[in-house]
Amino acid sequence: MPEQDKPRLVVLISGSGSNLQAFIDQCADGTLPADLVAVISNRPGVKGLERAEHAGVPAITIDHKEFDSREAFDIALAERIDALQPDLVILAGFMRILTQDFVSRFMGKLLNIHPSLLPKYPGLNTHQRAIDAGDAVAGATVHFVTPELDGGPPVLRAEIPVEPEDTADALAAKILVQEHKIYPLAAHWFLSQRLKLQDGSAYLDGDRLAESGKLFADTLLEQRS
């Protein structure tokens, strides 16, 4: 497919960008038929920017510390994103609380991944909180972004067992492997018009998804297109 016919993807990051790397790889090998038009980081010098540059993807820094307010940063960010005319905006470890205006501007085409089984553990330290609570399973959730922090409707979740010896870091590493599968898959569903946000709920193939989203299984990767 010619580049100009492919849907346009913008990925926002704040750090390592391992989820970004999954998008880079799947766009490059055609698993995800999308054009990754830019990566934007609110932190300068992070590894995710290097990953973008290495892949030949425009890597943009908009340093939030250079703005007087959250509102001013979000306006600058939104204008930059709008100029890129994305079909989908991916938050991939983008560690900023977004203003209502920003979310409203992109709602319906704004996805996030959160390292917990939402609605459990919005916010930070999700893995330690799962361990401290004695949870038998932990995981990650892709969800549509709405103004409520980590509160938008879940789309797809991956679950893994919590082993007695798991530390927060060990759990995070195991969950990241799952994140790299579920996030591009959810983006694929969206870009192929299968996934939509409608009246505050997530719909896949016309069916309203459960409150916790769909549970990931490897068979879903085979039924991708």
- Which of the following is catalytic: 114, 127, 180, 188? 114
- Would the annotation count 204 as a binding residue? no
Is 114 annotated as catalytic?
yes
- Record the tokens describing residue 217, joined without a space: 């299984």
Q: d(Cα 149, Cα 155) in Å, to the nearest integer? A: 16
Q: Can you state the angle between helices 18-28 and 47-54, rounded to 10 degrees?
A: 10
What SS3 state is found at 14? coil
Residue 87: what residue type?
D
- Would the annotation count 40 as a binding residue? no
Piece of the chain touching ligand GAR by CB under 6 A; list 113-121, 129-137, 163-171, 195-203? 113-121
- Record the tokens describing residue 20, joined without a space: 């970004």
- Would the annotation count 185 as a binding residue? no
Q: Does 128 bind ligand GAR (CB under 6 A)?
A: no
Closest to ligand GAR by CB, 122 or 205? 122
Show the binding pattern over residues 75-94: x = contacts ligand GAR (CB under 6 A), - = does not: -----------------xx-
- Would the annotation count 43 as a binding residue? no
Closest to ligand GAR by CB, 1 or 133? 133
Q: d(Cα 41, Cα 61) in Å, to the nearest integer? A: 5
Q: Give the residue ranges of DSSP H helices in 14-69.
A: 18-28, 47-54
Is the separation of the CB atoms in 89 and 39 below 8 Å? no
Catalytic residues: 114
- Footprint on this chain of ligand GAR (rule: CB under 6 A): 13, 15-19, 48, 92-93, 113-115, 140, 150, 176, 179
Q: Which residues are annotated as part of the binding site?
A: 17-19, 70, 95-98, 112
